[in-house]
Structure 1
């Protein structure tokens, strides 16, 4: 799934989401979209790829126990499209995220995530303390 998400091919990414996620997957993290379930994943990825067309996720660690898998990731990209109200800056960003996925019947049924959005916003100049501020 990682190779697909790094491909930038939205049609392929959406198809893999449909195969790997239960349609009504429970997302236990606030998201900047109004949709739910698997559609919310599609909407978030579409938003990220519009903002960061060269988005790349590197998995740093994976831990599995029982029906859960935890992944700690580093995400990089160049801000080339609007992102959460911020017009394109051309700046490169690097941020961290951690996700926990619970599986049921061979598909992801529930997800918890922590994404360092503050770091993104600082690097884009929206808050003091980032690169170039």
Structure 2
């Protein structure tokens, strides 16, 4: 977890924590307007809303946050139950557990201006029984 001074309400690390707790886990998509630049908010919503609809009970553990300059690198573990269509697959009712994700968030004026990440989607498909 980040150092105590790195979780001040306006720090980049605190913004990533809010993203996880309020939006990804909590489902408050309106909070995106406070966390992203206006041009990136719509992009984030187009990715997050369908994922939350597919896995409405998702949980995400913050494994590590590293804040340097205007960038936060974050490692997460994500779990959830497949209860809605996802990538053209009907709900299976199956659960995926502890899928690794790593993201880099770049900040401008205290909000996320760019995000890039990788997720172990193949393992997610495997755990849901959607791949051989």
- Same fold flag (TM > 0.5): yes
C-alpha displacement of 1:73? 0.2
Structure-1-length-normalised TM-score: 0.79
- Structure with bigger helix share is 2
Quick one: distance in 2 between partners of 1:114 and 1:107?
Answer: 21
Partner of 2:13: none
Q: Does the 8 Å contact 1:48/1:55 carry over to 2?
A: no
Bigger fraction of residues in strand: 1
The aligned residue for residue 64 of structure 2 is 61
Map 1:64-83; keep pairs closer than 5 Å: 64-83=67-86
Aligned twin of 2:7: none
> Within the alignment, does 1:109 sit opposite 2:109 as a pair?
no
Equivalent residue, structure 2, for 1:90: 93
Scaled by the length of structure 2, the TM-score of the pair is: 0.79
Q: Shift in Å at residue 15 of structure 1?
A: 2.2
| Correspondence for 2:30 | 15
How many residues end up aligned between the 2 structures?
112
Alpha-carbon distance, 1:92 to partner: 0.6
Unaligned runs of 5+ in 1: 25-36, 129-133
CA RMSD of aligned residues (A): 1.2
Gaps of 5+ in 2: 1-17
